[in-house]
Structure 1
Amino acid sequence: MNKHLNFTKKESRLYMSFMYVTFASLLIGGLMGLLQTFARSGKFQLPFGINYYTILTVHGVILGLVLTTFFIIGFQFALLGKTVGLSDKQRKWAWISFWTMLIGTVIAAVTILVGQANVLYTFYAPLRAHVAFYIGLALVIVGSWIAVFTNFRQLYVWKKAHPGEKSPLLAFMVTINMAMWFIASLGVAASVLIQFIPWSLGYAETINVLLSRTLFWYFGHPLVYFWLLPAYMAWYAIIPKIIGGKLFSDSLARLSFILLLMFSIPVGFHHQLTEPGIDPTWKFIQVVLTFMVVIPTLMTAFSIFATFETTGRRKGYKSLFGWFRHLPWKDVRFLAPFIGMVAFIPGGAGGIVNASHQVNTLIHNTIWVTGHFHLTVATTVILTYFGVAYWLVPHLTGRRLTPKLNKLGIIQTIIWTLGMTIMSTSMHIQGLLGGPRRSNFSNYAGGAQVDTWINYQIAQAVGGTILFVAIILMTYIFIQLAFFAPRGVQEFPIAEEEIDAEPTPKILENWYLWIGITIALILFAYTIPVIDILKHSPPGSIPFDWPIGR
């Protein structure tokens, strides 16, 4: 078993820098979300002439892109630092990654706040932002790529020093996630650099809208798995240690990540099922590929609950559900991720609806989709991130998760779950009633349908208020764990493999094979449709003088 490495102060400072940005983003993005729900309720007018779509854009960009990306990269650097190590040169490149991403984030954020980029986090054409917004996005992507290749280098150096050995599971998982991120982000990078920046500067008179949307969703769907896979890392390899158990199956964990890599990228068309210009045959093919992701998802559920039951049986709990009753419910490091796991059941069911060729027409572009995102990303993913932060932050700062902070964490988790349940449920119902996403009906003259929508938006404001209380509490806990909690040693929990576990097949670490299959699937799913888009899209449909931020 690989000996887990201790962090130096310089390493801890690096990893914590990503956490500082993460929780600052949580506070800012959460405030924007609160204002958004108030404005939609019809009971509150935004002060100082603030544009509704400005706060909507800030909320999506800060929470959907900034918070997630900074947490993931910081967490994954910590995982690799603990399992394979981080050299001084690699640490310098990690800092370059951090500062490049942060500078890009600030540029994009300022552009949004001054009203020059009210284009939402999807930044669809014909919405046009100031060029600085796209430059900021490009810097964030480039900074993340620096992290990608630094992570690859970390594992490569470890493999050179340990020939013939199986790589640590968490290092393998990080590499899969970063490979997926790099391949997927090539699409949005191409769109920003080749289409949006020249168009925004006026060098290109028109922009191919369908191509830009296709390139975005080539990236946009695997983005969801980029958010989700770090949660899977915690579920597979960290939660078992917290509950006093062992890793259920190293081979199954690696195989599920490989399948997630292969079936997460070539499926973007299921976000474009209602769009003309894409042959229905290719939409159908990508829907089929989308549903293939059910396989590694079920594998993950089986593995995790098998770990729970096996651990409970070893502790002597013989009854049918005795092992379940004796899980560490009073440990927030377990409780928060577990609630995230449970939320993924209805979240996954909603995802099946979103990706279904026929059923999608009922909920497409309604606030159902927003409710789905808040159930998956803002509940499953974020609660797992919080669960990680409860032990990672004190481990990095040399402090302890005290019983008092643990209790506050449990309260925070319950408040968050309550607020998100109210808000997400009302969004799903309003979506089924036809309520569109992104629109503010508070100033409409009324009518039975609009009045019904506003009633659900009032419920969303109630849920949003409860959520903001949870955000304030989480920010307080983070500050305590970072600066004020008692000094001590907090465990970095990594589960060990069973002593008599079957050897992991070497083919699971054949990177050429799995990445090669992934690229082949992408070329199969996208080559002909993209050629058709380039050949048949109408020229000159969107002029350069379309207003900025419209």
Structure 2
Amino acid sequence: MANETVAKVKVDPRDAKLSMAHFFVAFSALALGGLMGLLQTLVRSGKWELPWGIDYYQVLTVHGVLLGLVLTTFFIMGFQYAAVSRTTGGHSNAARRLGWIGFWIMLIGTLMAATMILLKEASVLYTFYAPLKAHWIFYLGLTFVVVGSWIDGAAQIMTYAKWRKNNPGQPSPLLSFMAVINTVMWIVATLGVAATVLFQLLPWSLGLVDTVDVLVSRTLFWYFGHPLVYFWLLPAYMCWYAIIPKIIGGKIFSDSLARLSFILFLLFSIPVGFHHQLTEPGIDPAWKFLQVILTFMVVIPSLMTAFSLFATFERYGRSKGATGLFGWFRVLPWNDARFTVPFIGMAAFIPAGAGGIINASNQMDQVVHNTIWITGHFHLTLATSVVLTFFGISYWLIPHLTGRKLTKAMNKLAIIQAWVWFIGMTFMSGAMHFEGLLGGPRRSAFSTYGGAKQAAEWIPYQVAQAVGGSILFLGIILVLIIFVNLAFFAPKGEEEFPVAEAEDNAEKAPMVFENWKLWLGITAALILFAYTIPFIDIIQNAPPGSKGFQTWNKW
């Protein structure tokens, strides 16, 4: 009986090995991608030039691909694989084999794409918009990463399905349910990017076709590109909903509310890509307006999450004797990095969410579209809210998987690292937002776009970005020191994988949440409703032959 209890609260060592393999790749991507980010900010300050013939856009592509795609995908798959193992009792041998196959395919694809970028054959940024063209090996590598992630995710779904079969009529463990929702959303979303790569960009790069329909390519990318943001975000929500309450000594406010919010993210995160294309011709404004409305529907589960989190904090605070409106704030465990680091990420999501509302609004987007404001927004959402939460997860998950302990010294260093990150991001992201309001372009090195007077207004903000980028790189060094210590040198011991429980008097989550035919059916219906007619319209009204391609190329 004792062995069974241990098995339920600890990730199986065989599963831990695969999760750690994912994390080694993720933190390697953080090291190289972070260095590229530092170089970018130094170049944009106008005070420094890249040595040895390195191209700015090569550096920009490495930064975006490694941090936006490689770091996130490998970390998320490693975390979710461990979470499913922890809450279901472990993966089967078949699921483990599938997980390893997916991991190696992803890694091979990553190395293929990275090699082409480093050889200057794929300086196309992480969005790889046509008419920018990369070497065919780059596109094939990206395809491998996507297909490998499908296989990796299939292992998690297989274990979840096995648990459901063995426990009929019971709601699945919350973390496993959340992991499967995120995996399903990822698979549905990546169908778009897989389609444009396999049927457009790869044949074009191989010389099999002379032209591509650029608007179709961009539409398929943004069908994927917006749910990509939620693929990043939902694992952070998993931590906020189901792990943070356990760390502070509280309970999950509502298991059912958490499940409902994740289902709403699945429904409303995919059919909204047009809000990234509000300024593009060739798309009927009525369909843009519809997708803007659907975009704002995502505010609902976001507000549900905020309500649930602060209710959890307040109820915990009241149990400790806190009084007044914000008395609970003082009694939270601020000396525990497992809480403090993700909490800073939570707080950053407040201004990040406000910026997202601006980006999704047709009128306000006209002011900031294609300016460095958008880059600043990404650095608040992904590089602060999400990444800080990922760091907070790693500070207990890495020692849990390696059989070591988070020492007081590493805990203190982790809190310092989080504040270093916060200060650096305040400088860099804040300066990006202000420069964007002045018209500073994104995706470009220091320039005189708009004339010398305009550029002069941008200089102070570009210098501030360099300062912030330097501080952030110091934060990356601290993260890597902590990671290496927790993986190899920390004292042997048992570190908890914290999973919170629902309130004692909470009702069982309704089984309708596990009705995948219903939720996938609604998701498919929303996607078909939002995309079928405009997609047919885009194809029927495409410019003939290479004419349209040349028009975009001049642009």
CA distance in 1, matches of 2:525, 2:29: 37
Match of 2:291 in 1: 286
Larger RCO, structures 1/2 (Cα 8 Å, 6+ apart): 1
CA distance in 2, matches of 1:168, 1:407: 32
Counterpart among 233, 245, 260 of residue 228 in structure 1 = 233
Deviation of 1:539 (Å)? 2.3
CA distance in 2, matches of 1:545, 1:357: 28
Match of 1:73 in 2: 77
Deviation of 1:3 (Å)? 7.9
Deviation of 1:543 (Å)? 9.1
Partner AA of 1:161 in structure 2? N
Farther off after superposition, 443-452 or 31-40: 443-452
Deviation of 1:453 (Å)? 1.5
CA distance in 2, matches of 1:8, 1:350: 41
CA distance in 2, matches of 1:331, 1:539: 61
Match of 1:524 in 2: 529
Counterpart among 422, 430, 438 of residue 425 in structure 1 = 430
Deviation of 1:56 (Å)? 0.2
Counterpart among 366, 373, 379 of residue 384 in structure 2 = 379
Match of 2:319 in 1: 314
Partner AA of 2:183 in structure 1? M
Farther off after superposition, 152-161 or 104-113: 152-161
Farther off after superposition, 57-66 or 506-515: 506-515
Match of 1:20 in 2: 24
Q: Which runs of 4+ in 1 moved over 4 A?
A: 442-446, 542-546
- Is 2:74 aligned against 1:39? no
- Helix, strand or coil at the partner of 1:49: coil
When normalised by structure 2's length, the TM-score is 0.96
Q: Note if contact 1:2-1:83 (Cα within 8 Å) is conserved in structure 2.
A: no
Q: Note if contact 1:208-1:539 (Cα within 8 Å) is conserved in structure 2.
A: no
**C-alpha offsets along residues 212-243 of structure 1, whole Å, 9 cap, x if unaligned?**
00000000000000000000000000000000
CA distance in 1, matches of 2:507, 2:449: 64
Deviation of 1:36 (Å)? 0.7
Q: Return closer, same or farther for 1:90/1:499 CA change in 2, 3 Å cut-off.
A: same
CA distance in 1, matches of 2:58, 2:7: 49
- Is 2:120 aligned against 1:115? yes
- Helix, strand or coil at the partner of 1:4: helix
Partner AA of 2:11 in structure 1? F
- Helix, strand or coil at the partner of 2:72: helix
Counterpart among 210, 218, 221 of residue 215 in structure 2 = 210
Counterpart among 255, 261, 264 of residue 250 in structure 1 = 255
Percent sequence identity is 65
Q: How does 1:452-463 map to 2 (within 5 A)?
A: 452-463=457-468
Counterpart among 126, 129, 139 of residue 124 in structure 1 = 129
Unpaired stretches in structure 1, ≥5 consecutive residues? none
Deviation of 1:444 (Å)? 7.8
CA distance in 1, matches of 2:233, 2:72: 10
**C-alpha offsets along residues 159-184 of structure 1, whole Å, 9 cap, x if unaligned?**
11111111001111011101100000
Counterpart among 321, 329, 333 of residue 334 in structure 2 = 329
Considering only aligned residues, what root-mean-square deviation do their CA atoms show, in Å? 1.9
Deviation of 1:2 (Å)? 12
Q: Note if contact 2:9-2:497 (Cα within 8 Å) is conserved in structure 1.
A: no
Deviation of 1:38 (Å)? 0.6
Q: Note if contact 1:442-1:454 (Cα within 8 Å) is conserved in structure 2.
A: no
**C-alpha offsets along residues 416-470 of structure 1, whole Å, 9 cap, x if unaligned?**
0000010000000000000010111258897111122122111100000000000
Counterpart among 52, 62, 75 of residue 58 in structure 1 = 62
Q: Note if contact 1:2-1:168 (Cα within 8 Å) is conserved in structure 2.
A: no
Deviation of 1:5 (Å)? 4.4
Partner AA of 1:526 in structure 2? Y
- Helix, strand or coil at the partner of 1:358: helix
CA distance in 1, matches of 2:149, 2:22: 12
Q: Note if contact 1:375-1:424 (Cα within 8 Å) is conserved in structure 2.
A: yes
CA distance in 2, matches of 1:545, 1:97: 39
CA distance in 2, matches of 1:151, 1:489: 25
Counterpart among 523, 534, 537 of residue 542 in structure 2 = 537
- Is 2:364 aligned against 1:348? no
**C-alpha offsets along residues 302-349 of structure 1, whole Å, 9 cap, x if unaligned?**
000000011111122234322110101111111111111111110000
CA distance in 2, matches of 1:542, 1:422: 44
Deviation of 1:253 (Å)? 0.2
CA distance in 2, matches of 1:179, 1:232: 16
**C-alpha offsets along residues 167-203 of structure 1, whole Å, 9 cap, x if unaligned?**
0011110111011000000000000000001100111
CA distance in 1, matches of 2:547, 2:79: 41
CA distance in 2, matches of 1:25, 1:81: 25
CA distance in 1, matches of 2:395, 2:9: 20
CA distance in 2, matches of 1:403, 1:474: 15
Match of 1:361 in 2: 366
- Helix, strand or coil at the partner of 1:205: coil
Counterpart among 83, 86, 90 of residue 91 in structure 2 = 86
Q: How does 1:439-518 map to 2 (within 5 A)?
A: 439-441=444-446, 447-518=452-523
Partner AA of 1:304 in structure 2? L
Q: How does 1:55-204 map to 2 (within 5 A)?
A: 55-84=59-88, 85-204=90-209
Q: Note if contact 1:79-1:170 (Cα within 8 Å) is conserved in structure 2.
A: yes
**C-alpha offsets along residues 383-405 of structure 1, whole Å, 9 cap, x if unaligned?**
00000000000000111111100
Counterpart among 408, 426, 435 of residue 403 in structure 1 = 408
CA distance in 2, matches of 1:282, 1:444: 32
Q: Note if contact 2:242-2:252 (Cα within 8 Å) is conserved in structure 1.
A: yes
CA distance in 1, matches of 2:544, 2:153: 37
CA distance in 2, matches of 1:329, 1:541: 60
Q: Note if contact 1:426-1:457 (Cα within 8 Å) is conserved in structure 2.
A: yes
Q: Note if contact 1:200-1:544 (Cα within 8 Å) is conserved in structure 2.
A: no
CA distance in 2, matches of 1:510, 1:112: 43
Count of matched residue positions in the alignment of Structure 1 and Structure 2: 549
Deviation of 1:151 (Å)? 1.4
Counterpart among 241, 252, 263 of residue 246 in structure 2 = 241
CA distance in 1, matches of 2:214, 2:245: 47
CA distance in 2, matches of 1:103, 1:434: 40
Partner AA of 1:527 in structure 2? T
